Structure 1
Amino acid sequence: MPSFQNLPHHDSGPVFVPQPARRLGDEVPLRVWVPAAYPVRSLAVRVLQDGEPKVTELEAEDAPTRWNGQSGTWWHATVRMVNPDTRYRFCVVGDGERSLDYAWLTAAGVIDHDLADATDFRLVLDESPSWVDDAVVYQIFPDRFARGAGSPALTPETVPAWAHIMEWDEEPAAHGPSTAHQLYGGDLDGIVEHLDHVQSLGANTIYLTPIFPSGSVHRYDASTFDDVDALLGGQEALVRLSKAVHARGMRFILDLTTNHTGDTHEWFERAQADADSLEAGFYLFTDHPDAYEMWLDVPSLPKLDHRSQALRERMLQGPESVVGRYLAAPFSADGWRIDVANMTGRSGAIDLAHQVARDVRGTMRDVAGTAEDGRENAWLIAEHGHDASADLVGDGWMGTMNYAGFTRPVWAWLADPDNGLNWLGLPMSIPRLSGRQIGATLHEYNAHLPYPSWKHSQSQLSSHDTPRTRSVVGTSERQVVALAALAALPGVPTVFAGDELGFPGRTGEHSRTSMPWDGLAGVGPRASTIDREVLRATGDLLRLRGDLAALRRGGIRFLAWEDDALVLQRTHPDGDVLVHLARDAHAPITLDLDAGELLHREGGTEVESLGSETGAPQLRLSASGPGTSFVRLTA
């Protein structure tokens, strides 16, 4: 069983970086914890300043002490933030007998060999909104959530020609062209009427998939950005939703496709009609008017060309742009999620993705403003399915939908061995990997991100584009463990509407299930399909996160992982929290820690405080089956 408790530790949370940099030139204090079991002769911090390494030795505190019951020594140094992205690592010089004689401590852990700078700790100017630190997001696919009580009935005469009207409780198709045309009739007023449900889960932020008129129910093929789809209630309904959300102290973000429009978009129609038009420069024509670049070879989704300054002004830049208009009153959105941000502005030798992010950030600062602490008021989140680290630097995206650093590792650890769901387009189903493999992914992948980017990325167990959590993990018990990981790990917990009910979904389209409001009230045939235990656990675990600063704003220390268990510690001056995640029964894990209080427990986990022969406190964690425990540690 790999155990990391007896290794030196530093993270980017407030215990180890008690005063983060707010501007260039700030002197930033750094701390390192060195357990007594890992004796060292000296420590030094290597900082890159203007590309040149600068080395400073750390000083040890006068007397050994205890941290959470473990004996050891705090070391400290101060470094100056010279560059907007200042990278640093620690050289740990051991005694060569009970510890490594030479090692590097980076965000990837203690490494016994020289390595590239990619996983160095980083001091960055955190300009993401402070409210995102405490956000819990509820994702809504508007057509499937709820229809307002006063909304008129859908009829063939009142819906677009593309729409096929569905009964509310019908199961959506999983594959085929019909998936884009199945109209259930959810609208924005329906969301207003069910905000109590959203808040009951501990969520305080809503993320809406697109709301613009289009040629499909998913609305990623917008026909204009100037209006809100009449099927959703129009602009007046968005204003009503904004007022209702903000009256509750909640926030909401909208979804914008900067990579492409629909082929019925007014810009594209003008572009096709006139090769000399301004709009013709908005798209990547290879042979006007019918040959053009498109998203994943889908003809109805022509790709935008951000080399056009006119396009960027109309879509991204300034208060009159699409980005600016919906951030301003009366809509007053609190941010944007950018669809396929990994592809936006990129085509062959063209790479303007960072420019797109920079343009959006500039408009958000101009329209939504900044807080007293200098951090921006609006949140910018990017869809990205793999390694997003290069796009999360400087004034790039504030965070990403962290599929690579959260969703897929959690899936692969908790997966039902017989899930039969495709894995990343590869010729295999989702694998069932060990805790060692999953812990390594969680640790090493996220070490490549600036810590504020990890904290401000969305952690989701499923979304409108993926299978649902229940279809991945197979059982209620393992879904609760997945929810515990969602509450415990850095990132912004994000729940896709319906996941809290334990609903299945084998594809993204099949997962776009309508909400069973009658069933939640105990009425109708869908009442028996709701997993009330998962619903309870969703609220309990996400509210627990809201109660504990360590889970929302703390650093992270991995303590142990084995095939069926992951143990981690969230560090924070208000009190550290240990989290034990078990996917199945496992042998006891003993740690040299002092438990103060069992905060929450689900399933088959057990926590026992022990003495030892030396009198030092110990903590034993075991499990008879899937479960989780959250334990407050004694300072």
Structure 2
Amino acid sequence: MTVCVFHQAIPGYLGRSDIHLSLTLALKGDQPDTVYLRTEPDNEEQLCAMKPVRSESGWVWYQAETDWAPHQDLTLYAFKLVWPERSCWVSASGLCTAMPPLTEVFRISRYHTVPEWISAQVFYQIFPDRFHCGDPRSTPASHQYDGMDGPSTIRRRWGERPNPEQGGNEFFGGDLPGIVQKLDYLQQTLGVTALYLNPIFSSRSNHKYDAENYLKVDAHLGGEAALAELSAQLHQRGMRLVLDAVFNHTSVFHPWFIAAQLNDPEARARYVFTGDQTSDYVSWKGHAGLPVLDMAYPDNLRDLLTGESAVIKHWLRPPYAIDGWRMDVIHMMGHGPGAANNADTVRIIRQAIKSENPDAYLLGEHFFEATSWLQGDQEDGAMNYYGFTHPIRAFLAGCDNRYDPLQLDAASLAHWLAQARSQIPFAQQLAQLNQLDSHDTRRFITLLNGHQPKYRMALGFLLTYVGTPCLYYGDEISLPGGDDPDCRRCFSWDESEWHAETLAFTQDWVQLRKQLPALQGGALVPLYAVGDVMVFARVLADSQCLVALNRGGGCDIDVVDALLPLAADWQHHAGEGSLKPAERGWELSLAAESIVLWSRSAR
């Protein structure tokens, strides 16, 4: 007889106090003779028999308490089920016969928490120069920096295609006042609740990943007054603001680097030099304009992170009071060349942010796997390229993160997603920032060659998967774009150029994300993954959502009911499909290239 199991760190299944954890495991089907909670309080196995505490509809709930691990922040645990003739394990990756590796057991941080507000948000990423121009007078004029040893600026008309040969030197005029002017669109029309802005600090480039002054908002974006106004307007609306911090490197026009080039010993110590010549400096990925800072140098830590007037703390304070930081290439920040002692550096970043505002969001940029940074003592969450963007890109667009061919069926997709989830605490799962595309990638609609049905599938998946969804500006209107800088086109405010059906779809699914608690904080339960179809549920103790993706033709499938019992009927919310009871669960009828959402609640 099959066994269904459920445990995750959601209310009703995990309780915590200063002394111990209370853990609950639900089992349906062939009940074991003994259920054990397995921990390692001193790096040696400890098995504690769990007690049945209630039963309903074939499910039995088992419970046990355990002390926090005394020797480390993370408490690691799994469950062992024993019958007379067999045994198996329950880990974060599901049921398994073999004892699970420690990388896949459940884990929870004792001392480090994730701000609860994060998973309730729908983020919207804005590249400021390309969203909306609020004050044309502040836009850089062509040739503004001529004669100043800098690149020649080029002022462009709104809506023209970015020129790859100009890169960071062309300006279209988007600014912070322009964002303020469009807050009604963002909040009321689209429904987003939080903004993440690409860098806004003083720089001669449009992208501003080469800061010249970390304590000045670029005048071409409106200056500090414009940031204070944007923050005030957002917070009055109950919205949040996250800014981009680029502390791994500076511009060659930063005063520190200018002094280093004049052989000032203290300024040279701020950067990574490999020889005595002024040209012997390490730059980010070989880009000569981005000299790398040395995080072993105490003055860098003081000025950027730990000091009372440190940059990272300054913008967390009024009148700006931002709600968090996205840390650019956080995994590369370290001592000397390379990323030596990076983990220590990231812990210092965390302590600096949380000392100023414990409820602030620490988001790390990682284009690949970020598991080791997401164990509680470093980042709250990462830009989830590895655990979301790359797998859904392969499933729907048939390519990997480098745009090489990669085909995944639903089973392979589900496996990739589960593996990524299982290696980090559930709190970090909820704080992962999920995106389909960004300022660093081709637009998802372009990868799909404009195929709208699959694109809407991707948007629906973004807004229902575990983690925090983030739309990149223009996703909602199917704004296309290829490689950088084409992925940074101007947002068109001519509504005749919008894809109206996709906008309406996005609006509907954003509202569902905000209305259904299980989509915000619920555990993910895989239910079906065969061929072109994947079905999963988001689960809280008193509410559930059921999501089905079908990238192929219309089909009927049978899905086994492995969900906790709720005395409520399924309600269809969005998408083309139907659900009816079957012998062991439900029969789903799904339209071609579709995503469907149902929910039920005991409330």
- TM-score, structure 2 length as denominator? 0.92
Counterpart-to-counterpart distance in 1, 2:102 and 2:355? 35
Provide the residue aligned with 2:453 in structure 1: 477
> By how many angstroms is 1:319 displaced?
3.5
Provide the residue aligned with 1:178 in structure 2: 166
- Helix, strand or coil at the partner of 2:455: helix
Counterpart-to-counterpart distance in 2, 1:250 and 1:354? 31
CA contact (8 A) 2:138 2:221 kept: no
**Does the C-alpha gap of structure 1 residues 495 and 349 become closer, same or farther in structure 2, counting only changes over 3 Å?**
closer
The code of the aligned residue for 1:198 comes to L
Q: Please list the CA deviations of residues 105-145 of structure 1 after superposition, one character each: whole Å capped at 9, or x if unmatched.
A: 11111111133211110121452222113111100000000
How does 1:230-379 map onto structure 2 within 5 Å?
230-276=219-265, 278-287=266-275, 288-345=277-334, 351-368=340-357, 376-379=358-361
CA contact (8 A) 1:319 1:366 kept: no
Structure 1 position 189 matched with structure 2 position 177: yes
Structure 1 position 608 matched with structure 2 position 579: yes
Structure 1 position 80 matched with structure 2 position 77: no
How does 1:516-535 map onto structure 2 within 5 Å?
516-517=492-493, 519-520=494-495, 527-528=496-497, 530-535=498-503
CA contact (8 A) 2:243 2:322 kept: yes
- Helix, strand or coil at the partner of 1:573: coil
Deviates more, 1:358-367 or 1:489-498: 358-367
Q: Please list the CA deviations of residues 557-577 of structure 1 after superposition, one character each: whole Å capped at 9, or x if unmatched.
A: 111111211111111123111
> By how many angstroms is 1:94 displaced?
3.8
> By how many angstroms is 1:331 displaced?
1.5
Counterpart-to-counterpart distance in 2, 1:296 and 1:74? 53
Provide the residue aligned with 1:144 in structure 2: 130
CA contact (8 A) 2:139 2:220 kept: no
- Helix, strand or coil at the partner of 2:333: coil
Provide the residue aligned with 1:445 in structure 2: 420
> By how many angstroms is 1:390 displaced?
0.9
CA contact (8 A) 2:376 2:425 kept: no
Q: Please list the CA deviations of residues 270-312 of structure 1 after superposition, one character each: whole Å capped at 9, or x if unmatched.
A: 1121242x22111110123111111111111111110001110
CA contact (8 A) 2:191 2:511 kept: yes
Provide the residue aligned with 1:371 in structure 2: none
CA contact (8 A) 1:498 1:513 kept: no
> By how many angstroms is 1:189 displaced?
0.2
Structure 1 position 51 matched with structure 2 position 28: no
The code of the aligned residue for 2:326 comes to R
**Does the C-alpha gap of structure 1 residues 255 and 611 become closer, same or farther in structure 2, counting only changes over 3 Å?**
closer
2:384 to 384, 402, 419: 402
2:56 to 62, 65, 86: 65
1:547 to 501, 510, 515: 515
CA contact (8 A) 2:333 2:339 kept: no
Provide the residue aligned with 1:571 in structure 2: 539
The code of the aligned residue for 1:624 comes to A
- Helix, strand or coil at the partner of 1:227: strand
Q: Please list the CA deviations of residues 397-433 of structure 1 after superposition, one character each: whole Å capped at 9, or x if unmatched.
A: 1110010001111111111x5xxx6x334xx624231
CA contact (8 A) 1:91 1:102 kept: yes
> By how many angstroms is 1:248 displaced?
0.9
- TM-score, structure 1 length as denominator? 0.88
**Does the C-alpha gap of structure 1 residues 5 and 264 become closer, same or farther in structure 2, counting only changes over 3 Å?**
farther
Q: Which has the higher contact order (CA 8 A, sep 6+)?
A: 1
CA contact (8 A) 2:140 2:171 kept: no
Structure 1 position 169 matched with structure 2 position 166: no
The code of the aligned residue for 1:628 comes to I
- Helix, strand or coil at the partner of 2:274: strand
**Does the C-alpha gap of structure 1 residues 634 and 457 become closer, same or farther in structure 2, counting only changes over 3 Å?**
closer
Q: CA RMSD in A?
A: 2.2
CA contact (8 A) 1:607 1:619 kept: no
- Helix, strand or coil at the partner of 1:103: strand
CA contact (8 A) 1:558 1:568 kept: yes
Q: Please list the CA deviations of residues 506-560 of structure 1 after superposition, one character each: whole Å capped at 9, or x if unmatched.
A: 213211111111x12xxxxxx23x2111111112112111111111111111111
- Helix, strand or coil at the partner of 1:544: helix
Counterpart-to-counterpart distance in 2, 1:362 and 1:333? 17
Aligned residue pair count: 587
The code of the aligned residue for 1:167 comes to R
Structure 1 position 424 matched with structure 2 position 401: yes
Q: Please list the CA deviations of residues 567-596 of structure 1 after superposition, one character each: whole Å capped at 9, or x if unmatched.
A: 111111231111112222344123336771
Counterpart-to-counterpart distance in 1, 2:252 and 2:91? 48
> By how many angstroms is 1:243 displaced?
1.2
Provide the residue aligned with 1:621 in structure 2: 588
**Does the C-alpha gap of structure 1 residues 208 and 112 become closer, same or farther in structure 2, counting only changes over 3 Å?**
same
Identity of matched residues, %: 29
**Does the C-alpha gap of structure 1 residues 10 and 573 become closer, same or farther in structure 2, counting only changes over 3 Å?**
closer
The code of the aligned residue for 2:424 comes to L
Counterpart-to-counterpart distance in 2, 1:531 and 1:430? 28
- Helix, strand or coil at the partner of 1:313: helix
Provide the residue aligned with 1:105 in structure 2: 90
Counterpart-to-counterpart distance in 1, 2:304 and 2:197? 19
- Helix, strand or coil at the partner of 2:40: strand
Structure 1 position 16 matched with structure 2 position 13: yes
Counterpart-to-counterpart distance in 2, 1:596 and 1:151? 58
**Does the C-alpha gap of structure 1 residues 42 and 459 become closer, same or farther in structure 2, counting only changes over 3 Å?**
same
Deviates more, 1:314-323 or 1:354-363: 354-363
> By how many angstroms is 1:322 displaced?
0.8
The code of the aligned residue for 2:154 comes to H
- Helix, strand or coil at the partner of 1:55: strand
CA contact (8 A) 2:138 2:173 kept: no
> By how many angstroms is 1:22 displaced?
5.5
Provide the residue aligned with 1:41 in structure 2: 33
Counterpart-to-counterpart distance in 2, 1:350 and 1:252? 29
Provide the residue aligned with 2:431 in structure 1: 456
Provide the residue aligned with 2:408 in structure 1: 433
> By how many angstroms is 1:159 displaced?
6.7
Provide the residue aligned with 1:382 in structure 2: 364
Deviates more, 1:157-166 or 1:506-515: 157-166
CA contact (8 A) 1:141 1:512 kept: yes
Counterpart-to-counterpart distance in 2, 1:290 and 1:401? 34
- Helix, strand or coil at the partner of 1:8: strand
Structure 1's unaligned 5+ residue stretches are: 369-375, 521-526
Counterpart-to-counterpart distance in 2, 1:189 and 1:349? 39
Provide the residue aligned with 2:141 in structure 1: 155
- Helix, strand or coil at the partner of 1:316: helix
CA contact (8 A) 1:337 1:380 kept: yes
CA contact (8 A) 1:5 1:591 kept: no
Counterpart-to-counterpart distance in 1, 2:526 and 2:2? 8
1:597 to 548, 551, 570: 570
CA contact (8 A) 1:577 1:631 kept: yes
> By how many angstroms is 1:202 displaced?
2.3
**Does the C-alpha gap of structure 1 residues 115 and 142 become closer, same or farther in structure 2, counting only changes over 3 Å?**
same
- Helix, strand or coil at the partner of 1:609: strand
The code of the aligned residue for 1:41 comes to D
Provide the residue aligned with 1:523 in structure 2: none
Provide the residue aligned with 1:499 in structure 2: 475
Counterpart-to-counterpart distance in 1, 2:100 and 2:119? 31
Structure 2's unaligned 5+ residue stretches are: none
Counterpart-to-counterpart distance in 1, 2:326 and 2:213? 18
**Does the C-alpha gap of structure 1 residues 294 and 153 become closer, same or farther in structure 2, counting only changes over 3 Å?**
closer
> By how many angstroms is 1:153 displaced?
6.2
